[in-house]
Amino acid sequence: MSLLSNVLADLCALYLIIRIPRGMIVYEKWRHRIAENPSDRSLYFVRLLLVNGLILLVIGLIAYTGSLSLASFGIIGPKNALLNQLLVGYFCILIVLNTIISLFRLQRWKKKNRKSPLQERIVTILPHTNTERSVWLLVSLSVGISEEIIFRGFLTWYIHGLFHFAFWLSLIFSSLLFGLAHLYQGWKNAIFVTNLGGIMAAAYFLTGSLIASIILHILWNLRLLVLAPAIISLQEEPIGYQTISSANIKQAASISRNGQPD
């Protein structure tokens, strides 16, 4: 590898690590901004596309200036096509079952007027309109491809080369970083995402390719197109429901006594 390639790899890895705590701050800013101005939601989606695109560009420069094969980052066909097809089929069944179970759970929670902390944190950035759903489709495809190349591909390669860990151990560390990158969704979901990243890492380890993990990642993001309306509905107050404040109570008491508000 050339000096430029090494420097770019170090800077890219450093940025991805710094991005973990910084991402939580940036996410909160965007969440509040979108809450005040929902039209900015599409800008948030576009920002995701641009940031991940720039990181992929840097990784491409690392490969080009370092004379590296794209296979170093898992961008290659699977070494066992049948196993890859079985894994993709398994992932499709997993996603369908998860989506169905999640829909039933959301309906049950709505009847009980129950809300999830995770859903309250992500509802702001979920697609609400048809236009936003179209953009989310692009986001799902882009993020599914880019994050797998970034975390499972580049970071695994970087950790393996820097610390000389075994490939499987490097995959575990990259999956941990993948989970930490989702801390903005809350620590419980970060643990879940870490486990999900472990499944993707296993697919990469077994096939030598990112194809199966990319497909799983894309489908996992796309399922939100189905779940988003139910999650958004869950956060809305039921029809006829109003929060009664002390001022409301005083005003009602005044009306009952005097026939008119004070």
Share of the chain above pLDDT 70, in %: 89
* pLDDT tens readout for residues 25-58: 999 999 999 999 999 999 999 999 999 999 999 9
Give the C-alpha separation, 217 to 221, whole Å. 6
Whether the CB-CB separation of 116 and 109 falls below 8 Å is answered with yes
What digits encode the pLDDT tens for the residues 80-108?
Answer: 999 999 999 999 999 999 999 999 988 88
Q: Would the pTM of this model clear 0.75, i.e. be above it?
A: yes
- Alpha-carbon distance 105 to 107, whole Å? 5
pLDDT tens digits, one per residue of 183-212: 988 888 899 999 999 999 999 999 999 999
Q: Compute the Cα dihedral for 81, 196, 148, 151 and give only its sign.
A: negative
Q: How far is the C-alpha of 28 from the C-alpha of 34, rounded, in Å?
A: 10
Contact 40, 124 (CB under 8 A): no
153 neighbors 73 (Cβ within 8 angstroms): yes
**43 and 175 in contact (C-beta within 8 Å)?**
no
Check if the beta carbon of residue 106 is closer than 8 Å to that of residue 116: no
* For helices 81-111 and 187-207, angle between their N-to-C axes, nearest 10 degrees: 160
The domain segmentation of the chain, as residue ranges, is 3-238
- Which residue from 64, 209, 41 is spatially nearest to 133, judged by alpha carbons? 41
